[in-house]
Amino acid sequence: MAFRIVVCAKEVLDPDAVNNYALEGKLVIGDDGKSLTQSSIPRLMNAYDEQAIEAALRIREAGVPCTITVVSVGDPGDILKHAASLGIDEPVAIQADTAALDHHGIAKLLAAFVQSRGGADLVLCGRQGSDGDQGVVSALVGEHLGLPVVTIARAIDVTATGDTFGVRVVRVTPDGDETVAVPAPAVVTVSNELGQARYPTMAGRMAARKKKITSVTPAELGVAPAALRPRVTLTKQFVPTVKGACEMIAGASADEAAANLIARLRAENVLR
């Protein structure tokens, strides 16, 4: 039986573009007081989710027969087409207005989707959305499905013993790498340490054109509107101000500037 992988992916505002605007002091918040509305900021797949898809593709390439489903809650933009062009089996859009949902609602829908398919052997998520940096949806999905959750993977290996699958994950921790073993089914979140995600090939792009995106509604998943009522509401977003009180240390040469700085740090007792 094929190993069933479900990858959860979302569309985000390009964090590098947001960052560049922020660095130039040109990041603006929209009239609603909570959205980043600059239309020049591209929308793309959350990079960690791209790496989660990459992890799934690597498992398949390692010789594990799998099915790879990529599911997104809300307007997927182009990310499901992108996923399809990478050679995954089924792109799925769960129709919902994400502006009216919180992480709790998104996780409920993702868990309900997995259940509607009779479960999955491995649910892959990104370590966090690069927009909100919350990193909670994966944990919530794991709990809703009653599955163990392994976070911040840099490598994932799947081994089959008879009919049962085992998952080995190398995770990046503050104390160094940690290798853990967990029986499937499990939820694993993928980090950037996994390495560069691949680009679609020309053939992949052509094949993706013919691939239909499956669309499902919350009602079809048996999730009632009441279950999706948000518990956390984003009411405001702002750009933090940084004080900026830097004292510039000068000198006629690099050595003089350096000596002045060291003298200053010693005078302030920062250095002895």
Partner 1 sequence: MSRVVVCTWGTTGGAAELLTLGHGVATALGTELVWVVVGPTADDLASIAGRHGVTAVDRIVDAKLTTFGGDVAVEALAQYARQFEFRLLLVPQTFDARLTAPRLAARIDAGVVMNGLALGANGGEVAVTASAFGGDTRVVYVLAGADRYVVGMSTSALAVEPAPTATTPPVRDVALDLSGSEERIQVVARTETSGPRIEEATILVAGGRGLGDKANYRLVEELAEALGGMAAASRPIVDEGWAEPARQVGLTGKITRPQLYVAAGISGASQHMVGCAAAKTLVAINRDPEAAIFRYAKYGIVGDCLEILPALTRAVKG
Ligand X SMILES: Nc1ncnc2c1ncn2[C@@H]1O[C@H](COP(=O)(O)O)[C@@H](O)[C@H]1O
Ligand Y SMILES: Cc1cc2nc3c(=O)[nH]c(=O)nc-3n(C[C@H](O)[C@H](O)[C@H](O)COP(=O)(O)OP(=O)(O)OC[C@H]3O[C@@H](n4cnc5c(N)ncnc54)[C@H](O)[C@@H]3O)c2cc1C
**Contact by Cβ (8 Å): 129, 12:** yes
193 in contact with partner 1 (CB under 8 A):
yes
E runs forming strands in 9-135: 11-13, 43-45, 66-73, 90-94, 122-126
Q: Which does 74 bind (CB under 5 to 8 A by kind): ligand Y, ligand X, partner 1, none?
A: ligand X
- Among residue numbers 29 through 88, which ones bind partner 1 (CB under 8 A)? 29, 34, 36
- Of 3-11, 54-62, 210-218, 253-261, the segment contacting partner 1 by CB under 8 A is 253-261
Q: Which does 40 bind (CB under 5 to 8 A by kind): ligand X, partner 1, ligand Y, none?
A: none
Q: Find the shortest distance in angstroms from Cβ 232 to ligand X.
A: 11
Nearer to ligand Y, 22 or 100 (CB): 22
Q: Which does 244 bind (CB under 5 to 8 A by kind): ligand X, partner 1, ligand Y, none?
A: partner 1
The pairing of strands 186-190 and 122-126 is: parallel
Residue 182: other Cβ atoms inside 10 A: 17
161 in contact with partner 1 (CB under 8 A):
no
Residue of 80, 101, 50 lying closest to 213 (CA atoms): 80
Q: What is the dihedral of CA 72, 73, 76, 82, to 10 degrees?
A: 0
End-to-end CA distance of the chain: give it in Å, rounded: 67
Distance CA 8, CA 49 (A): 7
Q: Which of 202, 209, 238, 252 binds partner 1 (CB under 8 A)?
A: 238
Nearer to partner 1, 163 or 175 (CB): 175
Distance CA 221, CA 105 (A): 13
194 in contact with partner 1 (CB under 8 A):
no
Q: Find the shortest distance in angstroms from Cβ 84 to ligand Y.
A: 24
Kindly report the backbone phi and psi dihedral angles of residue 200, in degrees, each rounded to the nearest multiple of 5, phi listed first. -70, 150
179 in contact with partner 1 (CB under 8 A):
yes
- Per-residue mark of binding to ligand Y, 120-159 (x: CB under 6 A): ----------x-----------------------------
Distance CA 128, CA 134 (A): 6
Q: Tell me, what DSSP letter sits at residue 194? A: G
242 in contact with partner 1 (CB under 8 A):
yes
- Among residue numbers 10 through 39, which ones bind ligand Y (CB under 6 A)? 15-16, 19
